[in-house]
A and B are shown apart, each in its own frame.
Chain A
Amino acid sequence: MKRNPLILAIGILLILIVGLLLFVFQVRKSEVVVVTTFGKPTRDLSEPGPHLKWPWPIESVHRFDQRVQNFEDRLTEGLTQDSFNVLASVFVGWKITDPKAFFPKFAGTAEPIAEAEKVMDRMLSNAKSAVIGKHTLFEFLSPSTGENKFVDIEKEILTVMQSQVRANNYGLEVEFLGIKKLGLPQSVTTSVFERMQAERKRLANQSQYEGEAEAQTIRAEAERKAAVVLADAGARATEIRGKGEAEAAKFLSVFQQNPELANFIFRLSALEDSLKDRSTLIFDQHTPPFDLFSGVSTNLLKK
């Protein structure tokens, strides 16, 4: 029974497994590990994969999340260089970079990450108020083409934070930082509203006046242009008529042969034209041909 190779294999396997469990540990990609020898940190490992160690109680393993932590601080008030109160809160991405340094400072607490963030919160409030005090409100808020220094301000806070973290050797690194919220104290918002209201009023009036003035200009210009067009046309019409009269005058020589006859013909045709339709004529007996009625107007009858 003891020579059974299967049992032997199983036994060796079991011993191997126990040995592995005692002497080998894994480091996950998201972790860093601090190995302590009798409680004193001796090694740190961040390379993922299996690693060797002496079994407990000689060496023990402490794992930390080495991923980028996301931390948002409270909204705190700061005074700008030109004496405006602004409220700002920032978010930071930070991670444990030196677990050996991080371990003794924070590992004693129940939640080392939260503990580290508490420390950072304090540092952030200082860094924020220090940097805000160096800038005017205009540098926070103004068109990008102007003196907007929003990005520079963020960078300054980050630099202050990074240098403080390094100086204290916390074993962590602030990766990035950004302003998450920017506001004004509650009492200031109403005065901003009042200013905005006045501005809106001005804009509304301005828009209306400008519109009226612009419309007036357009109308006046249209009328001016129309007048020019009509005047041009009038001049042209006169010119055309003048030409017509000049052409007509060429025929004057014809009438010149007997002006009396010409005049007579003109009058006759004018008479005919003027009495063309719907006219009432009243005659007495002296008007030819009604003078025939009186019997005196013709020499033929007299004779």
Chain B
Amino acid sequence: MSEHDHPLESMPEPALGPERPFDTGSEALTEALRSSFWIVKIVMFLLLIVFLASGFFTVEPQEQAMIIRLGRPVGVGQKALLGPGLHWSFPYPIDEYVKVPISAIQRVSSSVGWYATTPEQELAGTEEASLPITYPLNPLQDGYVLTADRNIVHTRATLTYHISDPVTYVFNFVNASNTVQNTLDNALIYAASTFNVDDILTRDVAGFKEAVRKRVIEMVTQQNLGIEVEECLVQSRPPRQLRDPFDSVLKATLTRQKLLEDAHSYEAQVASRAGADARSAVNFAESDRSRLVNETKSQSERFNDLLPKFQLNPWLFAQQRLTETLGRVLTNAQDKIFLTEAAGGAGGTAGNQKELRVLLNREPPKQNREETKP
């Protein structure tokens, strides 16, 4: 419909032209030419729109884009990056856009150093946990690293980094992430070649990780990769062929720790017991001392009291004290048995001899008391 409208509106313009006196035949021809010319115009107009519209492009969430204008990237550093969404650039050949499949954080894992296994096997736990010692490592399939003490150990690293200079990252390297991976592999091998097997596995895990990280940073700076290393995780494991020997060392280490702990607790126990014993010995001595002194003192005081009374009549005094004391003793004594000598000795006949039996260590005493009392 619109095509039809335009020619009608434009009719008066050619009517003013010099071709006015032409006959109807040529007029019809002119008419036809005009309408076809209009069609060409519209097609061109549409083409222009299509041309300009072709400059629109979308960037998906997991990617970013850069525009190259006449061969040169637009923007420097992070500013060159276009985030997810709809963007427009001049169409080719003025502008071109390059999509970069990068998210904020990149992650690469080392490709050497670990035995042949798949993540699925690892997750499912179906990977071989141990192998016979005679099972060799195939250098083409199984990864491993050689340590400073010329041992074999498995280790792998995961590096996270972000792209600090996307222009360099994209336009200076064919495959920068491969280069990062190679660098990580190299760092792993280099670090392992300077560490002993026990340091890598147990004694200095953090030091080993730091050595890998340091080497990666050093190398990417040297290569001018345009990335910044965020984190480097390293995982190491003894060869599966040597699982049991390595476990036994670990066990021996634990046993040793246990032995030392036991010894230390024994040490503490002995020390505290000795301390307590020593204190109580001193305390006993102190109390012995004060008791002896006090007793002697009180006895001497009592002696001083008694001496004048004694001097009045020594014999009577002695008898009185003795009887008094015996009386007290007898009152306190549980069992008192009185035997007349005449019953045994004075009578003189064997038949009349009495025998006295005393049960020692009577416990409990209540029963016996009743028996002996009557």
Residues of A bordering B, CB below 8 Å: 1, 10, 26-31, 48-50, 65, 67-70, 72, 75, 87, 91, 93, 137, 140-144, 146, 148, 150-151, 175-176, 178-187, 189-190, 192-194, 196-197, 199-201, 203-205, 207-208, 210-212, 214-216, 218-219, 221-223, 225-227, 229-230, 232-234, 236-241, 243-245, 247-248, 251, 254-255, 257-258, 261-262, 264-266, 268-269, 271-272, 275-286, 288-290, 293
- A284 near B289 with CB under 8 A, answer no
Residues of B bordering A, CB below 8 Å: 33, 37, 44, 68, 70-73, 93, 96, 112, 133-140, 143-152, 167, 170-175, 178-179, 182-183, 185-186, 189-190, 193-197, 219, 222-223, 239, 241-242, 245-246, 248-249, 251-253, 255-257, 259-260, 262-264, 266-267, 270-271, 273-275, 277-279, 281-282, 284-286, 288-290, 292-293, 295-297, 299-300, 302-304, 306-307, 310-311, 314, 318-319, 321-323, 325-330, 332-341, 356, 358, 365, 372
30 contacts between A and B (CB under 8 A): A10-B44, A30-B172, A48-B72, A50-B70, A67-B171, A67-B172, A68-B174, A68-B179, A141-B193, A142-B193, A178-B219, A187-B136, A192-B151, A203-B249, A211-B252, A214-B256, A222-B263, A229-B275, A233-B279, A240-B285, A243-B289, A245-B292, A251-B300, A258-B307, A271-B325, A275-B329, A277-B334, A279-B332, A285-B341, A289-B327
Shortest 8 CB-CB contacts between residues of A and residues of B? A244-B289, A211-B256, A233-B278, A226-B274, A237-B285, A200-B245, A178-B186, A215-B263
Which among A49, A210, A289 is the interface contact of B323 at CB below 8 angstroms?
A289
A223-B270, A226-B270, A226-B271 as given contacts; A70 in contact with B178, CB under 8 Å: yes
Residues in chain B near residue A187, CB distance under 8 A: 136
Highest count of chain B CB atoms <10 Å: which of A185, A229, A262, A276? A229
Residues in chain A near residue B284, CB distance under 8 A: 237
Interface of B is mostly: helix
CA of A282 to CA of B334 in the docked complex: distance in angstroms? 11
- A281 near B336 with CB under 8 A, answer yes
- A151 near B190 with CB under 8 A, answer yes
Given contacts A50-B71, A236-B282, A285-B338, 9 further A-B pairs with CB under 8 A are A68-B173, A137-B150, A180-B189, A186-B137, A208-B256, A214-B256, A215-B262, A215-B263, A275-B329
